[in-house]
Chains A and B, each alone.
Chain A
Amino acid sequence: MPVREGTYGLLAEFDTPTELVVAAKKAYADGWRRLDCYTPYPVEEAAEAINFHRNKVPLLTLIGGLMGLAAMFLLETWVSTLAYPLNIGGRPTYSWPAFIVPAYEWTILFAGLSAAFGMLALNGLPELYHPLFNAPNFRDGATTDKFFLCLEALDPKFELAETKKYLQALKPASVVEVEY
């Protein structure tokens, strides 16, 4: 990967979640798309404000769950009917009620693992470097009590001086430029 240089984006710091949500809503409404919110705890409205609501975690979970279900059910069917067809209490070898419990457990297991690892993968984790940590106020505040809105340089609307002015009009505590 080539070394990226220049500006990653402009980071506005807010003291309350409400201010962040108001600012993020406005930025989204004004046409910004390469933007992100950073909060010390989940603020659902911030995600809604920048229309980041849909992600693929539910789909991955569903697929994982169905895979677990199919895998275990088929394994049991194969074991009981083909590999070791035993007569247990005179029941047919294909006795599906007995297969349900392990199949269910595997559904839960696979769905849970898919959700956890899928979430990490979709977040791009593990990630060893992120430019935002170059901003000292982000390092100190993002996990404690500050709320951040970042407008990224990749957005076609991005224009360093203009964007800075635009962000300052949203009345943040500060606006800092973040380098790659």
Chain B
Amino acid sequence: MAHDEHSNSHTNTLPAELGAPAFVGNWQKRAIVVGVVFTLLAVLLAVLENMSPNGLAVDHLLRGWLLGLMMSFGFAVGGLALLMVQYLSGGKWGLLLRRPLEAMSRTLPLVFAFWVVLAIFGKKLYLWANISDTAAALKSGIITEAQAHAIDFKHPMLNWNTFIITGIVCFLIWGFYTWRLNALGLKRDSESADTTPKWIKKMENISGPGVIIYAITLTAAAIYWVMSLDPTWYSSVYGLLFLVGQGYMVLAFSIIVSIGLSKGEPFKTVLRVTEQHDLAKFLFAFVMLNIYLAFAQFLIIWSGNLPEEIPWYLDRIRGGWGVIITLDFFFHWLIPFSLLLSRDIKRNKKRLVAVCSWMIFARAFDLFWLIEPNFKDAARNLHFSWGILEYAAVPAAMLAFWFAYFVTNLKTRPLVQTNDPHVAEILEPVHAH
């Protein structure tokens, strides 16, 4: 195949200019336009919802906001986590992804702002936060006996103060790791190449505990922000599902960014087809792991068939939701799985970007299926309302602004870390093993 312009025997040289190419400015402008359009759309939908009988305009805005928060949070903190995993595993792919991942992690302030909005206005979404007197609520039929029991029993954990405090503590921890890894990442480059072994160890030592702490804090966040929407239900694999989901979307997004950047230097030189292929194989592993956990949870709960657990699935299968879960299975497993089996698609820039974009959409679709049936009006009752479209409009607007902020962060640093043992390797022509 004649696609490989570097296939003769000479070695490439790293371009002198390692900053982000100028065209990322256009990405940013486009993202802001998209963000404004979807913001207007979200407002329009809220107005339409408000005019319809039994409209839940504010509720739906908040639900969409929660989905947007989980997506942007997934990119920011998931990016941080993948960065730490990279420091632990080592390898060539770090040279490609480290700077985009760092830029993703530095979007944490915006995600925090998104979360603050939820912390101020979101109380409405959480059943346990709105019921102060469970006995009275039970008597008047607002909640079931199971809900009353769960809200009472889980009160030490599920109350608005711990919700806020846990959130702030988690953000402080993520902020600490973001700051530390980003500052050291830049410092590493300012030192000479003979310091590389020292830096590798140093980064490993920070990232090792970091990954564990990330897993714990992420589980806390997933439980508080999403799982507790249904106070009666619990699943011990829930945090892990979000963890893998973050790896899934972060890797897909990183591949899109790398391929997008490869239209200009320096990524034109460093993103060789071999590395692209490797990243796509890595992505494939996440597609498998994701369905593995999702299905394992389903199989265990289905087998147990316990009255404490099974209603969560019934809420998400009956009343039209069966269509959504079937589509969800196709969207976030079957389609990416089948496409990523192909070697040609993994090595083709355009097609791989299409698959990755699809996967990000599929992750959002999966979150929709996780979030919406928690609410009384939607459980076992999938129905159209203008408000339900907020699940598309609000996250699209949030992610567009998030992306613009991401590009701002991307522009502040050289795109390739030069104090790295793999620089020489990545500049070699592909077949000179």
Contacts and interface: CB of A to CB of B under 8 A. Distances in A.
B295 A100 contact: yes
Given A17-B431, A17-B433, A18-B431, A45 B7 contact: yes
Interface of B is mostly: loop
B431 A44 contact: yes
A119 interface: no
A21 B299 contact: no
Contact of A97 (B1, B9, B298): B298
Given A45-B7, A98-B303, A100-B299, A17 B1 contact: no
A39 B9 CA distance: 18
B432 A18 contact: yes
Contacts, number: 32
A137 B204 CA distance: 48
A124 interface: no
A120 interface: no
A18 B299 CA distance: 52
Given A45-B7, A48-B1, A98-B303, A21 B295 contact: no
Contacts of A101: 299
Given A45-B7, A48-B1, A97 B299 contact: yes
A89 interface: yes
Given A97-B299, A101-B299, A18 B9 contact: yes
Contacts of A21: 7, 431
A41 B433 contact: yes
A89 B305 contact: yes
Contacts of A44: 431
B302 interface: yes
Interface residues of B, number: 16
Nearest to A88: B303
Contacts of B341: 58
A17 B430 CA distance: 11
Contacts of B9: 18
A43 interface: yes
A15 to B, nearest CB: 13
Contacts of A45: 7, 430-431
Interface in B4-31: 7, 9
B302 A97 contact: yes
A57 B431 CA distance: 23
Contacts of B305: 89, 91
Nearest to A48: B1
Interface string A59-75: 00000000000000000
Contacts of A18: 9, 429, 431-432
A41 B7 CA distance: 18
A17 B432 CA distance: 7
A112 B431 CA distance: 28
Nearest to A21: B431
Interface in B336-385: 341, 343
A17 B429 CA distance: 12
Contacts of B429: 18
Q: Which of A18, A46, A101 counts the most B-chain CB atoms under 10 A from its CB?
A: A18
A48 B430 CA distance: 12
B339 to A, nearest CB: 14
Interface of B: 1, 7, 9, 295, 298-299, 302-303, 305, 341, 343, 429-433
Q: Please provide the 8 A-B residue pairs with the shortest distance between their CB atoms, ordered closest to farther.
A: A45-B431, A18-B9, A97-B302, A97-B299, A48-B1, A17-B431, A21-B431, A43-B431
